[in-house]
Structure 1
């Protein structure tokens, strides 16, 4: 079976633990031919992808056999703005140009975001009588309205009217929707204006295999990181990893620890704050980390490094500046490594934490509440140890990677097989 996937901002290096790459890997292991469509522009680095120089006839092949095709846009400097939308429109047009002369796939699976290239994938599939799935990962383009300041929300809503219709049309025309959490699937179905069917499914991210200090040895780390962990031994270790963005940003965590550092009842000598990642306002993050004697900057972490550090941490930090559902790679990295979460997200993750007692939910953007929760865990190491044990049991029972992606692949196969059978009988 030939399967096309699309994720416009997909990382190509150190990306084995991302949803698209995991789906591609499991499809390939089942014997399918897989092509990934992604932007020619590197969203993280804000530069044109170096891999294009090694492409042959427009196709760059990864060591595992995944074929990558690049959609040409205009590039952009800011994550939010008209220029980025223009880039995606050009990329969608380039996809259609390339796709028309290639052998037809048996099914397409389009990630949303973004809604523009997802709509192009679904339209191509419809025109050629091919089944299509949209994997709903974020509320595009509605998210831009949700995060806009109140005074300009009506203006943003009006400006996004056509793009909202584009997203709605794509989800209405897709054969089925899948998502990485129930609240995201519910949003997609509401956008499409229909109820859930047996073809609409939730497959949790499960983007990291379960890890512990044995399976994630210190030899996976460089000397600087090993020294940081040696310095952290015997202390309560709070860790943030991931991209710094407007929604989830470590500055909220730093502000909470700054608040605690002024509290006479907080003994910072028994605490370490580790922050790994990069992104928006990284220089400000680095400056304020340097001012806290118990904080350490990890830089951008490769998956083996992340596993080694998180499996030796005590609490994972998922701060939210705005109240919004999230059950993302960061959350699964923490759970996979057996650590509870201080969580600011709503939705499935918040419900899971409350029901299973595997962390603490705090209101989004509330520095004081975050600081109080941190202090409560520092003061009660027995509670943290009990949470860590529950996290390990929960991950093994509910989020096993082989099971999750095996089920996802089986669903893709079933949709394609059912479609083909219906076309043949028709």
Structure 2
């Protein structure tokens, strides 16, 4: 079967280091392993292709048209970005209608209607994968100009999809509330246990490891504060990069902590960086609404595949995932986190 894997989100490089990039690659691997012919359509290819996907056909579409080049800020910049996403969606539709495809597998992104329009024009079946409530995220953390247009695109996509697959129950509830779609199910994330295998902890002081993009909603500040409160010595290893890194390094300095910041790591290299660790940490912070904890955290599955006990916040899906496999603590409680570790 000829499958078009579509991701119009400019924040997700196909060949990148963030969790979303790992997810894209793993889904593509499974489709290929089942004998399908897969072409990825994206607005951001990335520059770190793993060896086994080096020959994967990837069509990268530019996000900025020549006539819109130039400086902008605020609402103007957001509006420009939204138009660019729509143009990218239009171009994918045009090319796929010309080339033909048997199935569209689309990772939900704002303003894309590729799946819906292929279904309408050519009766092409499609699967929509929803990983996050993107409309709410964009409104809360960035800037969303055309919210009505974004919601209309989501309704079109879910209405046309043969199946809409969500990574968690909160995401599924969000989709149902916004669209009323009938064919919506939950399939939590997982991990390739061939890629990550258990390894014994290293000698000496235990190492606590965190893997992820360094953003506020990952709670790494609480992990640093927990390290400063530890009654027994342990070292902290942070794998990943992001906008909070400089602030975290500054906080580590103020707390007089020696933290091993590893920076961005290619997915195929993550096992080597997990090796020697004793505990995996997922210190998600407290939020006002439990449905804000909508994630299905890849890091936790990677820790478990590596044979690590996990210390995590009691929030979202984590109590269900970690039953019998880890220690849960109240979110945003560095003292409890330190004691559990």
Question: Shared fold (TM-score greater than 0.5)?
Answer: yes
Aligned partners of 2:70 and 2:324: how far apart in 1? 42
Structure 1 residues 81 and 277: alpha-carbon distance in aligned structure 2, compared to 1, 3 A threshold: farther
Are the counterparts in 1 of residues 14 and 44 from structure 2 also a CA contact under 8 Å? no
Question: Which residue in the other structure is 2:299 paired with?
Answer: 330
Partner of residue 68 from structure 1, selected from 54, 58, 68: 58
Q: Distance in 1 between matches of 2:138 and 2:18?
A: 26
| Contact 1:326 1:346 (C-alpha < 8 Å) held by counterparts | no
Instruction: State the Cα distance separating 1:19 from its structure 2 match.
Output: 1.9
- Is contact 1:205–1:328 with CA below 8 Å preserved after alignment? yes
Q: Write out per-residue CA displacement over residues 122-166 of structure 1, whole angstroms, 9 at most, x where no aligned residue.
A: 223322211111101001112244669xxxxxxx89963442333
Structure 2: stretches of 5+ with no match in the other structure: 288-292
State how far apart, in whole Å, the 1-side matches of 2:326 and 2:222 are: 21
Structure 2 partner of 1:280: 243
TM-score (norm 2): 0.79
Q: Secondary structure at the residue paired with 1:213? A: coil
- Spell out, residue by residue over 1:30-71, the C-alpha distance to the aligned partner (whole angstroms, 9 max, x if none): 2221111111476xxxxxx799xxxxxxxxx98554211112
1:376 maps onto 2:340 in alignment: yes
2:213–2:242 CA contact under 8 A, matched in 1 = yes
Q: 1:37 aligns with which of 27, 41, 45?
A: 41
Question: Among 14, 28, 33, which residue is 1:11 paired with?
Answer: 14
Query: Match for 1:107 among 98, 103, 107?
Result: 103
Equivalent residue runs for 1:10-409 within 5 Å:
10-13=13-16, 18-40=22-44, 63=53, 65-74=55-64, 83=77, 86-101=80-95, 102-112=98-108, 114-117=109-112, 119-145=113-139, 160-195=147-182, 197=183, 200-209=184-193, 210-213=196-199, 233-258=203-228, 260=229, 266-267=231-232, 270-290=233-253, 292-323=256-287, 324-344=293-313, 346-353=315-322, 355-363=323-331, 366=332, 369-377=333-341
Q: Secondary structure at the match of 1:278?
A: coil
Q: In 2, Cα distance between the equivalents of 1:350 and 1:145?
A: 28
Larger Rg: 1
> Would the alpha carbon gap of residues 67 and 285 (structure 1) be closer, same or farther in structure 2, given more than 3 Å must change?
same
CA shift at 1:244, angstroms?
A: 1.1
Label 1:336 to 1:168 Cα distance change in 2 as closer, same or farther (>3 A). same
Deviation of 1:14 (Å): 6.0
Give the Cα–Cα distance (whole angstroms) in 2 for the partners of residues 356 and 81 of structure 1: 48
Question: Hey, what does 1:225 align to over in structure 2?
Answer: none
* Whole-angstrom distance in 1 between the partners of 2:24 and 2:177: 24
Structure with bigger helix share is 1
Residue aligned with 2:60, SS: strand
> Which SS does the other structure have where 2:190 is aligned?
coil
Distance 1:15 1:130, change over 3 A: same
Q: Is the 8 A contact 1:318 1:345 kept in 2?
A: no
Give the alignment's Cα RMSD to 1 decimal: 3.5
Tell me how far 1:107 sits from its aligned partner: 1.0
Cα deviation for residue 341 of structure 1 reads 2.7
